[in-house]
Amino acid sequence: MDIKELVQLKQEAENHLINELLPFWIMRMTDEKNGGYLTHFDEKGNDTGEDEKSLIAQTRCLYTLSSAHRAGYGNGELAEIARHGVDFLLNKMWDNQHGGFFWMLDRKGNVKNNQKIIYGHSFAIYSLSEYTLATGDKRGVEYAEKVFDLLQKYGADTMYGGYWEMFQRDWTLCGPGSQGGDRKTLDVHMHLMEAFTTLYECTGKEVHRRKLLEVIDLLLNRIIHPEYKTGVPQFYKDWSVAPQIKFDIIWGWDRFSEEGQKGNATDNTCYGHNAEFAWLLNHALEILQDDVENYKGLFRIIYDHTIDNGVDYEFGGVFVEGPHSGGVYDREKEFWQQAEVLIGLLDAVILLGNEKYWEAYKNVHRFVFDKVVNKGVGEWYPLLSRRGEPIWTHMGHSWKINYHTVRAMVQSIKRMEKLSK
């Protein structure tokens, strides 16, 4: 590894984070009139006026601000904006009757969808725990623990393990099929792992440690492919593989076909999720003080699969997905997958030390900074063609927010600092 080159890439990431990404959001996100965060912006960074505030966008914004403040950015300003978001979450999004957070509000804070969706609640635990770690404000961990307890009461499947994911307002499980009541997903359980990791870091409580270990065990032994160690997207209640279908309430649905079911519905894996799972697992092991040496073989399989199949060595960047055994189905480039693979490949360099991971990292880094970043605006294009032409051009909406982009820079800089010593 060329240390000069490493330092140059780190400086590029720092400049982007400090002078582009964070200012983009600091200047736009605070809703002074109604509370919470504005999250819908067009290609030029203008507010689109979309009348919604989703649980997922509000909590991800809170995580972004809290984690960046905790990492030393913003001179205290980010903590103040984070506090503003917590006020809205607790005063407007919390259901005082049944507990938990409503899925969707309008800008003024009126409820548009009162369902309890575990995907959103995983980010509530994650962001509120991070907020307390970053600021010392105990309201964060108080409500993170409340959500955790609700998940154990209503969400835990005590027969087959794991968590149900789609509920009505009163925590009645939703129906089957597109309502999602009979499905379990990699996405939710991976995000519960990151949420429980940060909750345990915040509280040190044995019950949080135990539930974190349980969800890690599920991910390793039920959710990732037994041979290829790639993520399997959807399951039935007994963990038999289910076709990947569209739910009535879903995040990131726009990448599916109109028929409501993915092509290759039982044989597709997402390169971004695989890399994200690996680095989040590594972080969980660190918080648990577990020996990473026991997992290096697993990490090598995941990262080798990612760079052998997911990285585009002709045009740069990371493909969307392909079959478990290798290859590519979808050659477009999603912003969040680039972000997660950046962090994961730097983890691979640190853990496994092979030059090929560094070369793959440089490939994705260049693609991001040359093609994905919207020059002069500061945020990232959400979806691009294989060659890097923008297909979607919005800078923010309920599913495309600052969480992946800012986190990728904060975490990548931290890893490059470690490598440069």
CATH code at position 18: 1.50.10.10
Q: Are residues 245 and 332 in the same domain?
A: no
Q: Are residues 193 and 93 in the same domain?
A: yes
Each residue of 343-374: pLDDT tens digit? 999 999 999 998 999 999 999 999 999 999 99
Each residue of 258-317: pLDDT tens digit? 444 555 656 889 999 999 999 999 999 999 999 999 999 999 999 999 999 999 999 999
pLDDT of residue 265: 55
- Over 70: is that where the pLDDT of 22 sits? yes
Q: Are residues 5 and 85 in the same domain?
A: no
| 43 in a structural domain | no
37 strand-pairing partners: 30
| 42 in a structural domain | no
Q: What does the alpha-carbon distance between residue 421 and residue 417 come to, in Å, rounded to a whole number?
A: 7
Helix (H) or strand (E) holding 402: helix 402-420
Q: What does the alpha-carbon distance between residue 168 and residue 99 come to, in Å, rounded to a whole number?
A: 12
Q: Are residues 244 and 288 in the same domain?
A: no
**257 pLDDT tier (thresholds 50, 70, 90):** very low
Do residues 134 and 69 make contact, with C-beta atoms less than 8 angstroms apart?
yes
Q: Are residues 315 and 370 in the same domain?
A: yes
- Over 80: is that where the pLDDT of 165 sits? yes
Q: Are residues 376 and 411 in the same domain?
A: yes
Q: What does the alpha-carbon distance between residue 345 and residue 310 come to, in Å, rounded to a whole number?
A: 12
pLDDT of residue 258: 47
- Over 90: is that where the pLDDT of 252 sits? no
Task: Put residue 31 in one of left, alpha, beta given phi > 0 → left and psi -120 to 50 → alpha.
Answer: beta
Please name the residue ranges forming H helices in 231-334: 271-288, 296-305
Mean pLDDT of 1-6: 93
Q: Are residues 284 and 182 in the same domain?
A: no
pLDDT of residue 399: 87
Weakest mean pLDDT among 6-15, 227-236, 252-261: 252-261
The amino acid at 17: L
| 191 in a structural domain | yes
| 22 in a structural domain | yes
Q: Are residues 13 and 84 in the same domain?
A: no
Q: Are residues 11 and 80 in the same domain?
A: no
Do residues 322 and 329 make contact, with C-beta atoms less than 8 angstroms apart?
yes
Q: Are residues 217 and 314 in the same domain?
A: no
| 35 in a structural domain | no
- Over 80: is that where the pLDDT of 386 sits? yes
Q: Are residues 209 and 347 in the same domain?
A: no
- Over 80: is that where the pLDDT of 254 sits? no
Q: Are residues 325 and 243 in the same domain?
A: no
**1 pLDDT tier (thresholds 50, 70, 90):** confident
| 45 in a structural domain | no
Number of structural domains (the chain) is 2
| 69 in a structural domain | no
pLDDT of residue 249: 81
CA angle (317 as vertex; 19, 300 as ends), nearest 5: 110
Beta strands in 226-294 (DSSP E): 234-236, 269-270
Helix (H) or strand (E) holding 104: strand 104-105
- Read off φ and ψ for residue 233, nearest 5 degrees: -70, -50
The reply to whether the predicted model has a pTM over 0.85 is yes
Q: Could you say which DSSP state residue 109 is in?
A: S
Q: What does the alpha-carbon distance between residue 213 and residue 196 come to, in Å, rounded to a whole number?
A: 9
Range of 134's domain?
Answer: 54-61+75-223+234-267
| 186 in a structural domain | yes
